[in-house]
């Protein structure tokens, strides 16, 4: 084969390869455990919620063929680095610790961390007020890291899901729990959470609590990162983000 034919063949192969890559499905990892109102299964077994709607909108704006892929929360980063999924969009906060392992897109929401307890309990969202109390937290979250750093005089009880912590709070087996304000607002407004109320937001610590929630990708996935950032920027600019949010919340969470 002469040089021209070789170059032409190589170019065709490259174009074909690029076409295959662009046509591939992008597996978006979410936590397999329900986390309403962000993500949960409806009666038909379909994933629904604010974050699911945002994922679909971001992927459409970025022209990505995305597939929702549930993964156990405590294994979601290993699933990303092990290439079982291509990105994480599961209310994962952008923290310095996580940035050592993976990269993040621009934030697509940001809400404070709060303490929730029984309405009858006179406590505040401070280490001093929670001293001697049993505080439930979800494993492998910023809330666990925060509680371990600040609530050293509390008894910490770790759960695999926030729903399990909420159940024990309702049953009186723990005194309080720390979690995302929006998720906990959904809980206290439900029948199961009627016992409880949000006692306040914990003091901010950007190093532990991060700087908002973003999409996590493997180091070196620059093209995918750029595409996700493009999609996030597009839905913020054209009002799609605000429209989705209005279906679930009474105020902006960006």
pLDDT given at position 251: 81
Structure tokens at 241: 């983000």
Q: How confident is the model at residue 117 (pLDDT cuts 50, 70, 90)?
A: very high
Cβ atoms 254, 109 nearer than 8 A: yes
10 Å Cβ neighbour count for 103? 18
Q: 226 pLDDT exceeds 90?
A: yes
Q: How far apart are CA 28 and CA 52, in angstroms?
A: 10
Label the pairing between strands 87-88 and 40-41: unpaired
Respond yes or no on whether the N-terminal peptide bond of residue 37 is cis (omega within 30° of 0): yes
Q: 10 pLDDT exceeds 50?
A: no
pLDDT given at position 17: 37
Q: How confident is the model at residue 200 (pLDDT cuts 50, 70, 90)?
A: very high
Q: How confident is the model at residue 252 (pLDDT cuts 50, 70, 90)?
A: confident
Q: With a threshold of 0.85, does the pTM exceed it? A: no
pLDDT given at position 9: 44
Q: Which residue has the tokens 């929006």?
A: 182
pLDDT given at position 254: 86
pLDDT given at position 102: 98
Q: What is the mean pLDDT of residues 1-15?
A: 42
pLDDT given at position 250: 84
Cβ atoms 118, 235 nearer than 8 A: no
Q: 11 pLDDT exceeds 60?
A: no
pLDDT given at position 4: 42
Q: How far apart are CA 208 and CA 251, in angstroms?
A: 25
Segment 17-66, tens digit of pLDDT? 333 334 579 999 999 999 999 999 999 999 999 999 999 999 999 999 99
Q: Which long-range contacts (CB under 8 A, 24 or more apart) does 163-171 make?
A: 163/33, 163/34, 165/136, 165/137, 165/138, 166/192, 166/193, 167/192, 168/136, 169/116, 169/117, 169/118, 169/136, 169/195, 169/196, 170/195, 170/196
pLDDT given at position 218: 98
Q: Give me the domains of the chain, ranges plus CATH numbers.
A: 23-110+211-246 (3.40.190.10), 113-209 (3.40.190.10)
Segment 156-190, tens digit of pLDDT? 999 999 999 999 999 999 999 999 999 999 999 99
């Amino acid at each position: 084969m002469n040089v021209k034919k070789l170059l032409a063949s190589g170019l065709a192969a490259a174009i074909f390869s690029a076409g295959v890559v662009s046509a591939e499905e992008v597996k978006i990892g979410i936590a397999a455990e329900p986390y309403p109102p962000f993500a949960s299964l409806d009666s038909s077994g379909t994933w629904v919620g604010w974050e699911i709607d945002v994922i679909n909108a971001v992927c459409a704006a970025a022209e990505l063929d995305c597939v929702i892929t549930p993964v156990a929360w405590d294994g979601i980063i290993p699933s990303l680095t092990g290439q079982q999924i291509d990105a994480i969009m599961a209310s994962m906060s952008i923290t310095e610790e996580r940035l050592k392992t993976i990269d993040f897109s621009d934030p697509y929401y940001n809400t404070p961390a709060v303490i929730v307890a029984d309405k009858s309990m006179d406590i505040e969202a401070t280490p001093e007020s929670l001293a001697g109390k049993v505080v439930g937290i979800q494993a492998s979250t910023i809330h666990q890291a925060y509680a371990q750093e600040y609530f050293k005089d509390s008894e910490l009880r770790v759960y695999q899901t926030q729903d399990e912590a909420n159940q024990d709070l309702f049953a009186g087996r723990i005194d309080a729990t720390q979690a995302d304000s929006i998720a906990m607002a959904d809980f206290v407004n439900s029948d199961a959470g009627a016992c409880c109320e949000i006692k306040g937001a914990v003091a901010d610590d950007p190093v532990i609590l991060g700087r908002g929630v973003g999409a996590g990708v493997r180091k070196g996935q620059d093209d995918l990162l750029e595409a996700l950032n493009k999609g996030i920027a597009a839905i913020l600019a054209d009002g799609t983000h605000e429209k989705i949010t209005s279906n679930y919340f009474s105020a902006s969470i960006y």
